[in-house]
Amino acid sequence: MPHLFDPFESRNMQLRNRIAMSPMCQYSAREDGTVTDWHFVHYGARAAGGVGLVLMEMSQVAAHGRLSPQDVGIWDDAQVPGLRRIVDVVHAHGAKIGIQLGHAGRKADPIFDAVGPSPFAFSDRYRVPEELDGRGIAQVIDQFAAGARRAREAGFDTVELHGAHGYLLHQFLSPISNRREDGYGGNLGGRARLMYEVADAVRDVFGQERPIFARLSMLEAGAKGGYPLEETLEVARTLHERHGVDLIDCTTGGNAPVSEPEPPGFRLPLSAAVRAQGVPSMVVGRMEYPELADAAVANGQADLIALARGLLRDPHWAFAAQQQLRVETTPPEQYRRAYR
């Protein structure tokens, strides 16, 4: 029976524990998409704080696919050196690091030309997106593949495909935003086709030795016309069995302007359902309680526990959790005096 502070392995990536830093946009990049010292300090602090895996914020594979002009980019080779510097500092502090590859689609900042599966705006504050044709879809696949190539060059241990929270891959997956009648719409196979083709293209360039994650909104909570859990479970299983995706990052919502209640561990049943299919899973959402996080791993509800706001509040959450769970505390030597 594994526990929160036991190692985890996926392909050639070995994590020192089951704690991941969930991707969280910092809106602190330069307008050319390159990272700044803020990112170097922010991610380095969480690695020094004891997490097993740092997942960098959604980094855009296209300049026009940004949520804001301050998004991190991975659409240009000039962005690689800064990313490599972050990889190096995270590795130096004993953690592994991944980067989330994304495209905002119809949720792009209104200063950019938005694209999407169908010409329907997310809300009144966003542009009506241009419907992608076959050539545009092929370009999106190429952009994700090129982002994965740059991630490999920068030394990332894994990449995560962002197919959730109402961004482009999720927009294709969801009947809320995808009203197409061609091979990329209609039934689940058509709506999931772009996700599958992106996963294949990313695997081709990222190599066989490193794992690939995919984030899925397992439920479109509170939104009318969304897909049911049975469909996303099928997508999760197909990604894992046929398209080289090693782990599903389980989240919810984001493709309609609604909110959902967030009690501690509220997504654990979704993560457990993925794992019950034989697919490794990671769960995010109010998991900052050490006993809850440890029990989720021990009970087989998730392989990895991702923290978001909890790690913003406390970069050293892992060490406090070790003390609370009464396991050996493993801070850097420079901080050891604080735990005696």
CA distance 295 to 37: 36
The two three-digit tokens of residue 238, written as one number: 């197909």
Catalytic residue status for 27: no
The residue behind tokens 């995270």 is: 90
How would you classify the pairing of strands 13-15 and 8-10?
A: antiparallel
CA distance 59 to 147: 9
Candidates 151, 149, 156, 164; CA nearest to 102 is: 164
Indicate the SS3 state at residue 37.
helix
Indicate the SS3 state at residue 282.
strand
Main-chain phi, psi angles of 135, to 5 degrees: -65, -40
Instruction: Tell me which of 27, 43, 126, 167 is the catalytic residue.
Output: 167
CA distance 191 to 3: 37
Q: What is the dihedral of CA 35, 28, 157, 171, to 10 degrees?
A: -120
Catalytic positions? 167
